[in-house]
Amino acid sequence: MATTTRQTLEHVLRLVRENHPGLARGWFSDLDDGNLVGGTISIQARNLFQLDYLQRNCRRAFSEAAQTVTGRLVSVRFWAEEPQEDNHAEPAFAFEELPLNPDYSFENFIVGPGNRLAHAAATAVSEQPGRSYNPLFVHGSAGLGKTHLLQAICHRISKDQHPLKLAYLSCEAFINHFIEAVEVGALHHFRHRFRHVDALVIDDIQFLGTRERSQEEFFHTFNTLHQTQRQIILSADCPPSEIPSLEERLVSRFNSGLVALIDRPCLETRLAILRRKSKLRCVPVPDEVLEYIALRFENNIRELEGALLRLDALSQLDGGKVTIELARSALGPEPMMIVQTQRIMEVVARRFKLKVSALQGKNRAKSVTLPRHLCMYLARQFTHDSLEQIGGYFGGRDHTTVLHATRQMGRRLAEDVDLARLVRELGEEIRRGGN
């Protein structure tokens, strides 16, 4: 090789970024070059999370790039230094089915009005596990950052509080481990594993709902940990009381600590997230394009991020620049007009032959609650108003009422085709903006 290894690594990184923009991460520039020995280049990661990411996702991309750069049939190996550990101690970190994503740190988590409480609770819990909010229950719709926040807690705990034992897993994995333990008669082992941790972090706990025996087991796991002041952190797509078929005693335990909602991000937060993601993924995008994307995707940050990556991939085919023209043609027409909740109420009231004031009043007859809930649902779809603001339009109802109504409406719409048609029609009328 004519060049030094550092230069080789830099070439390799450049190629990986060009050829696999979805894989590349900002922290790649922290990777350390190693020697080329026996046809293998060793690349050093900063920590075990980076290592895990590289080993799972990047072996082929790096090897191909290394072969192009060196012109030889080399392969790439990743490694990282093991943290110093007391030989007698059990491993501090129990990797379960879900490996930690190195991107999901507090540093990469943008705080805004929709997630401020959840974020504050998450940092408090990771600084003093078991001593602030226990359990911490984070809920919100898909793609709003629950998994990111849970993993950020795990990163922080495993970094700052090394001797602590942490188990992080999905609810499905918990259920599967339990079933397996019952089948092979290893319940004792299962219990030891989950009742002797300092922090138990379970993602998507709503799946516990319909599983009776797993609920029973989890109830005892929960009690054991809680009584000994071990930290429990849970996430779900709805608050405890709305998890279908969850036993009352679990609902009340989940409610006994802090229940924090992650709400949809406002425009400013979405923009900040896009900026951070474009930096993290090494995708330079002009501000006007970021704004364009942020206006188009309001309800799901995963989709927001997906749009950014799609534009980046398209731009590679098209000269390498992400422009506003490219964004327009790839992501569709101009951002949806911003609709006022007031207008939604007028359209719905007219359709149901009601007065707007009836929607705002206290009448609980079905003929009024259905249109009222429809309005709340549509306001979530079409406006930038927060749950509190929407509640304000309906005689000062509180945000949990609005959340409950919109969730219930979402579920009904999935089953009731006539209602879904009505919502579509109302949506079109609202968008038309006329009278």
Assess 122 for contact with ligand ADP (CB under 6 A): no
Member of 17, 146, 270, 380 binding ligand ADP (CB under 6 A): 146
Nearest approach, Cβ of residue 202 and ligand ADP (Å): 13
Stretch that binds ligand ADP, among 108-116, 214-222, 325-333, 427-435 (CB under 6 A): 108-116
Identify the CA nearest to 119 among candidates 97, 144, 82.
144
Q: What is the spatial distance between Cα 177 and Cα 154, in angstroms, rounded to a whole number? A: 21
- Residue 288 to residues 272, 275, 284, 328, Cα–Cα distance (Å): 13, 11, 12, 11
Minimum CB–partner distance for residue 196 and ligand ADP (Å): 27
In the complex, what is the shortest distance from the CB of residue 269 to ligand ADP, in angstroms, rounded to a whole number?
Answer: 7
Contacts to ligand ADP from residues 58-97, by CB under 6 A: none
- For 110-170, the DSSP string reads PP-TTTHHHHHHHHHHHHSTTTSSSSEEEE-STTSSHHHHHHHHHHHHHHHSTT--EEEEE
Minimum gap (Å) between residue 112 Cβ and ligand ADP: 7
| Closer to ligand ADP by Cβ: residue 148 or 373 | 148
Total chain residues near ligand ADP (CB under 6 A): 18
The answer to the question of residue 273 lying near ligand ADP (CB under 6 A) is: yes
- Is residue 151 near Mg ion by the rule CB under 5 A? no
Which of ligand ADP, Mg ion, none is residue 231 near (CB under 5 to 8 Å by kind)? none
Q: What is the C-alpha R_g of the chain? A: 25
Q: What is the DSSP letter of 104?
A: -
- Distance separating alpha carbons of residues 143 and 237, to the nearest angstrom: 10
Is 147 near Mg ion (CB under 5 A)?
yes
Q: Is 115 in the site for ligand ADP (CB under 6 A)?
A: yes
Beta bridge partners of 138: 235, 260
Residue of 62, 109, 207, 394 that binds ligand ADP (CB under 6 A): 109
Q: Give the E-state strand segments of 11-114 in sequence order.
A: 36-37, 40-44, 75-79, 93-95
Query: Residue 237 CB, nearest distance to Mg ion (Å)?
Result: 8
Give the Cα separation of 375 and 378 in Å (integer): 5
Residues in the chain: 435
Among the listed residues 145, 257, 371, 391, the single contact to ligand ADP using CB under 6 A: 145
For ligand ADP, the binding residue among 147, 315, 360, 383 (CB under 6 A) is 147
- Is 152 a binding residue for ligand ADP by CB under 6 A? The answer is no
130-to-146, 156, 164, 265, 381 alpha-carbon distances in Å: 20, 14, 11, 29, 38
User: Pick from ligand ADP, Mg ion, none: which does 148 bind, CB < 5 to 8 A by kind?
Assistant: ligand ADP
Residue whose C-beta lies closest to ligand ADP = 145
The option from Mg ion, ligand ADP, none interacting with 115 (CB < 5 to 8 A, set by class) reads ligand ADP
Q: Which residue has the tokens 């230069």?
A: 7
What is the C-alpha separation between 320 and 182, in angstroms, rounded? 55
Q: Are residues 197 and 225 in contact, defined by beta-carbon separation less than 8 angstroms?
A: yes
Spell out, one character per residue from 293 to 312, where the chain touches ligand ADP: x when CB under 6 A holds, - when not: --------xx--x-------
Binding site for Mg ion (CB under 5 A): 146-147
Residues that bind ligand ADP (CB under 6 A): 104, 108-110, 115, 140, 142-148, 273, 276, 301-302, 305
